[in-house]
């Protein structure tokens, strides 16, 4: 949903609270979340196409799912700096941000992350379209594999929330999505 439609939607606060209390939440892999997240963490992700139109993805070491490069925001950095740092740390590539694709915070849209057996975090993410300006593609300690893939043959399993971001990026919308 675009920002204008979100802001103009007639929903009362008490309706939102009641609806969220009754939901069965799923994490970013689709697994059911059996307890509330302990905290909220913000981060950034990057949608990056090479000149052939192939999408950069990484196979995450922590959950064995394919994902856009990205990660948690560090204290003292802007969300744009988070995006640039995470892409470089995870892929070895230096990028330039071209546009904001969307803001993703809705826990019903797979915005719950699990880290290990104990940590459950509700995520907020800003996804940016970026272009490569330097560096060399390399695998990091956080990834099992990195590479560019044709859009019609993306590897699986792909994090569910990242599927939404990829679809949003491909629409080339005039305004960022708010989800």
Task: Tell me the backbone φ, ψ of residue 84, rounded to 5 degrees.
Answer: -60, -45
| 88-140 pLDDT tens trace | 999 999 999 999 999 999 888 877 888 777 888 899 999 999 999 999 999 99
Is residue 157 reached through a cis peptide bond, with omega within 30 degrees of 0 on the bond before it? yes
The CATH number given to whatever domain includes residue 30 is 3.90.79.10
Task: Tell me the backbone φ, ψ of residue 85, rounded to 5 degrees.
Answer: -65, -45
| 1-58 pLDDT tens trace | 444 444 445 544 444 443 455 567 888 888 888 888 888 999 999 999 999 999 999 9
Structural domain total, the chain: 1
Domain interval for residue 145? 3-178
Paired tokens of 6: 């979100």
């Amino acid at each position: 949903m675009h920002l204008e439609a979100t802001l103009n939607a007639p929903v009362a606060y008490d309706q939102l609270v009641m609806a969220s209390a009754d939901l069965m939440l799923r994490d970013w892999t689709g697994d059911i979340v059996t307890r509330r997240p302990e905290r909220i963490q913000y981060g950034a992700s990057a949608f990056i196409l090479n000149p052939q139109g192939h999408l950069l993805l990484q196979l995450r070491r922590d959950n064995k799912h394919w994902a856009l490069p990205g990660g948690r925001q560090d204290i003292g950095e802007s969300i744009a700096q988070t995006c640039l740092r995470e892409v470089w740390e995870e892929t070895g590539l230096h990028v330039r941000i071209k546009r904001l694709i969307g803001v993703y915070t809705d826990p019903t849209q797979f915005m719950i992350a699990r880290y290990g057996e104990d940590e459950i975090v509700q995520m907020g993410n800003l996804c940016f379209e970026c272009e490569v300006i330097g560096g060399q593609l390399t695998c990091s300690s956080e990834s099992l594999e990195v590479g560019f893939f044709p859009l019609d043959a993306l590897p699986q399993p792909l994090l569910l929330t990242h599927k939404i971001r990829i679809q949003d990026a491909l629409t080339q919308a005039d305004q960022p999505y708010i989800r």
